[in-house]
Amino acid sequence: MSLNVANCNRCGKVYMKNNYGLCPACIKGIEAEYEKCLNFLRDHRQCTIQELSDETGVEMKQIMKFIREGRISIKNNPNMAYSCEACAAPIREGNICEPCRTRLMKETSGLMEDEQKRREREANKGVTYKIKDRLEDR
């Protein structure tokens, strides 16, 4: 028989397990932060993420999490952008910028080509021909 309790990932308190990995108090706190952000954005559409964080007291990390989860839309907020996870360039969608995405795709295709060549070499490694064998076939 196992207990259906865990420690909150945010504050460490013991709580009944749920899908969030957070205690009810932390969930309410996050929802309150979300509401603060939404209320501020309704009146200040031109703000940046830094300004939003400074004015609401919500950490930038949490704001970016709201954006990535789709809870805060930056389409109507032209000055809001967040960092590419690879190079920290400002982006407005996805997790990485277009140059990093292109570079990763090239590297991936290069690795696939290298793997294909390695397999071909291994397949042909045991095959050897002697001149005598070639002459017998004629």
SS3 assignment, position 6:
strand
Tell me how far apart the alpha carbons of residues 117 and 130 are, in angstroms, rounded to a whole number: 24
Sign (positive/negative) of CA torsion 57, 62, 64, 69?
A: negative
Tell me, what's the pLDDT at 128? 62
pLDDT digits (tens, 9 = 90+) for 22-67: 999 999 999 999 999 999 999 999 999 999 999 999 999 999 899 8
How far out from the chain centre does Cα 110 lie? 23
Non-local CB neighbours of 120 within 8 Å, separated by 6+ positions: none
pLDDT digits (tens, 9 = 90+) for 81-107: 888 889 989 888 888 999 999 999 999
| 114 DSSP assignment | H
50 phi and psi angles, rounded to 5 deg: -60, -45
Q: What's residue 136's pLDDT? A: 65
Chain centroid to CA 109: how far? 21
CA 4 to CA 70: how far, in whole Å?
A: 30
